[in-house]
Structure 1
């Protein structure tokens, strides 16, 4: 039986999720030759998507290699997904020779443009199979508009890995109680353990809470963190409002409660992953760096600080910059140096203090290209600008976490630079939602902008 739908995949879909070939169930997939050429062009470059291109090529090869002859590749090869007992048969995958298409009425001009070639391929298949739904799948918004304008009836974004329908649905990591918390508590079981105070209350008071969500009210007395959730009970760790606001790391104190929550999560040895989201100037990098310096230099809990970030142009440009890997990465990690300078601006010799901190904390600037394959131990890893990473890329980094290592993801979903990511499909959004129920992670959304009056106004008005 012929599948009712035929999906044509753009290159950016395969780069975003190299395993997407198995996500279209019993429907058929066509990959234009132009897409294979683009993957081939990307796979050997020093891009942070080169590995995804190679994985996608291998996935296509695994399916196509079962073809009996060349003609079957054009017609379609059965996609099989390994099951528990036997392989599960999905749709068919075909390679379409779009280079054979010639200019005709209704096609987009300038066939040297690769996007136009892929759209023309979809238009041709739509005309060839009028009784089937031919759907172009791309993460490029402009390409979707061009395809619709050219007469393609169905164009879609790839949303299989999208976990939330609205960015507002993402957990903030902290919950404000409109009424004083203790007023609504009829029964509580309080106990102490390892010098900390815990409260076990009915889950009905906090029905939607999850591990490591911070709870507070306006009383400036109550502040707690959800430690565990059972069917009928919630266990809270009492943090104390005053104690939270009096925390200090490397001379930096929190300005508001969200910063205090982040500092508490970063310093807690039981939390392996801290995710800090917020607008530019909200203090994410400053708080993360201050806590990292405190834990490495003062507390000696870790041996080093590794700083990395998503650098869309770096992959092509980094090789042409002079010096070692750290020196090549320095221009892209200037935000770290800016924050180090801000911490030591009142010192007698600020530059000497910054140099001391970098050497004493063993701060290493690493490119994402060199993170793959490593096992990072006894370190705190700061992943800056993580909103520009795909879910697969963030998975690659987080799975590098070895013994006694803490991961910190910093990002602003309003500042995505990637060509094929949106706030809903960003890897940062993905891990915030995926790690919501994990007791070893905490996510905090920062509020307020403290960089300057101008920065605050610009964030609100522009």
Structure 2
């Protein structure tokens, strides 16, 4: 693996979960050497034919590996096949496939587990190639720990991590001490179409600013950024009393952050809304109430598509009885619960719930079967987005057709999958990527209006 021209270099060894997380990960290590253990290929082969969501990523990764290797001979694959970049018409880095550990080589861990096989292989390779700095790249935290204990450097796959600390994630609003207007030398205000707009000089605003970000100060001013360019920032003046008096399907906001969320959800010019926050902060009920009113009263949408990320054991929906909707009902119970909550005080709650589900055409869809479809004039409600990878998030959002709106809900403190954390979650990735999108908005809700008990549990458990 070494050559006279390269006496010391770095090589990255990819684990299976990295390729599942991002099938294009092979292309993201620039000029470095990428190594794939044979065990990784065997794991991809076992997972590629299943019905689970992960099988799609496995097949995509296998196709990408096959494209890179092409007609290379075994000797070329061992030495390294150039990774060609179609856009630049050049190659950066090389890809090699490592055979299983040969007989008689050093053993460090029990080889019954595939993770241990990979680590054992790296230990033997490091002894044979001391001039090469091996780095194991894996989403599996425990595997990284075992590799470090065996003297192998390891790290997480961070190509799609846009923030290094979850505190850097945009909240969707900016709070200013004192008066917001004191920092501007000139403000031009215009009243038109029943609203007031303020035109500010971009040079007077030192902080980061983006479209559909909310502004509030200690003097009671609340505004929403409509557009940003190199010269000006346009703000829509929002009256706090008007925001708090909003009502959708009998639901009113409990706090100003919920009022901001309703303003985004009700705006037809905003095609993508993401709501994050703790359990009980009102994410689902706000989105659902707005979706029902816009479907039944405003006739803006023909149907409401509800879906969510399901735990790995639930991805094989065929083992559950009934239709697709009945199979998904246990995993979309939060949607049903919130429909009931919106009609709890009706004279006939059961009749109201049936009426709403039929008139709003609420459909429960499995995440597996959304791929490849296109939804026109639909509101796509995605719950538990914190458990989706960036690749999965893209696959769902791109299903939105003409006249559709996507609402993403999630709590980054409740990630269930072992290969994601708040920084690498698809929800975090999407919020950062769409921060400059003129037709997208994000709000991080706070507090737990669900109940006093829920609020105390969120803070103390």
Quick one: structure 1 residues 199 and 420, their matched pair in 2 at CA, closer, same or farther if it must change by over 3 Å? same
Contact 2:307 2:381 in 1 (8 A): yes
Does 2:212 match 1:212?
Answer: yes
> 2:441 is paired with a residue of what secondary structure?
strand
Query: What RMSD over aligned residues (CA atoms) do the two structures have, in Å?
Result: 1.6
> 1:332 is paired with a residue of what secondary structure?
coil
**2:456 — aligned with what?**
457
Does 2:97 match 1:95?
Answer: yes
**1:290 — aligned with what?**
289
The C-alpha deviation readout for 1:249-270, integer Å capped at 9, x for no partner, is: 0110000011100100011011
Query: C-alpha separation between the residues in 2 aligned to 1:265 and 1:333?
Result: 23
> 1:255 is paired with a residue of what secondary structure?
coil
> 2:330 is paired with a residue of what secondary structure?
helix
Quick one: structure 1 residues 198 and 215, their matched pair in 2 at CA, closer, same or farther if it must change by over 3 Å? same
Stretches of structure 1 that go unaligned for 5 or more consecutive residues are: none
Query: C-alpha separation between the residues in 2 aligned to 1:16 and 1:184?
Result: 44
Moved more, 309-318 or 395-404: 309-318
**2:83 — aligned with what?**
79
Query: C-alpha separation between the residues in 1 aligned to 2:201 and 2:331?
Result: 48
Query: C-alpha separation between the residues in 2 aligned to 1:382 and 1:206?
Result: 35
| 1:195, distance to aligned residue in structure 2 (A) | 2.7
**1:427 — aligned with what?**
426
Query: C-alpha separation between the residues in 2 aligned to 1:178 and 1:434?
Result: 28
Does 2:74 match 1:70?
Answer: yes
Does 2:60 match 1:60?
Answer: no
Query: C-alpha separation between the residues in 2 aligned to 1:5 and 1:230?
Result: 42
From 19, 22, 45, the counterpart of 2:27? 22
**1:127 — aligned with what?**
127
Query: C-alpha separation between the residues in 2 aligned to 1:20 and 1:48?
Result: 18
> 2:379 is paired with a residue of what secondary structure?
strand
| 1:181, distance to aligned residue in structure 2 (A) | 2.8
Contact 1:274 1:442 in 2 (8 A): yes
How many pairs does the alignment contain? 455
Contact 2:108 2:120 in 1 (8 A): yes
Q: TM-score, normalised by structure 1?
A: 0.95
| 1:232, distance to aligned residue in structure 2 (A) | 3.5
Does 2:118 match 1:118?
Answer: yes
Quick one: structure 1 residues 178 and 232, their matched pair in 2 at CA, closer, same or farther if it must change by over 3 Å? same
Query: C-alpha separation between the residues in 1 aligned to 2:351 and 2:312?
Result: 31
From 46, 69, 82, the counterpart of 1:41? 46
| 1:71, distance to aligned residue in structure 2 (A) | 2.4
Detail structure 1 runs of 4+ shifted over 3 Å in the superposition: 100-106, 182-186, 314-317
**1:225 — aligned with what?**
224
| 1:231, distance to aligned residue in structure 2 (A) | 2.1
Query: C-alpha separation between the residues in 1 aligned to 2:182 and 2:144?
Result: 54
| 1:418, distance to aligned residue in structure 2 (A) | 1.4
Contact 1:188 1:200 in 2 (8 A): yes
Query: C-alpha separation between the residues in 1 aligned to 2:210 and 2:449?
Result: 29
Quick one: structure 1 residues 104 and 124, their matched pair in 2 at CA, closer, same or farther if it must change by over 3 Å? closer
Contact 2:52 2:316 in 1 (8 A): no
| 1:102, distance to aligned residue in structure 2 (A) | 4.1
Query: C-alpha separation between the residues in 2 aligned to 1:103 and 1:455?
Result: 59
Does 2:141 match 1:137?
Answer: no
Contact 2:13 2:135 in 1 (8 A): yes
| 1:43, distance to aligned residue in structure 2 (A) | 1.4
Q: TM-score, normalised by structure 2?
A: 0.95
Stretches of structure 2 that go unaligned for 5 or more consecutive residues are: none
The C-alpha deviation readout for 1:221-251, integer Å capped at 9, x for no partner, is: x211000112232110112111100000011
Quick one: structure 1 residues 351 and 104, their matched pair in 2 at CA, closer, same or farther if it must change by over 3 Å? farther
> 2:269 is paired with a residue of what secondary structure?
coil
Query: C-alpha separation between the residues in 1 aligned to 2:276 and 2:206?
Result: 23
> 2:92 is paired with a residue of what secondary structure?
strand
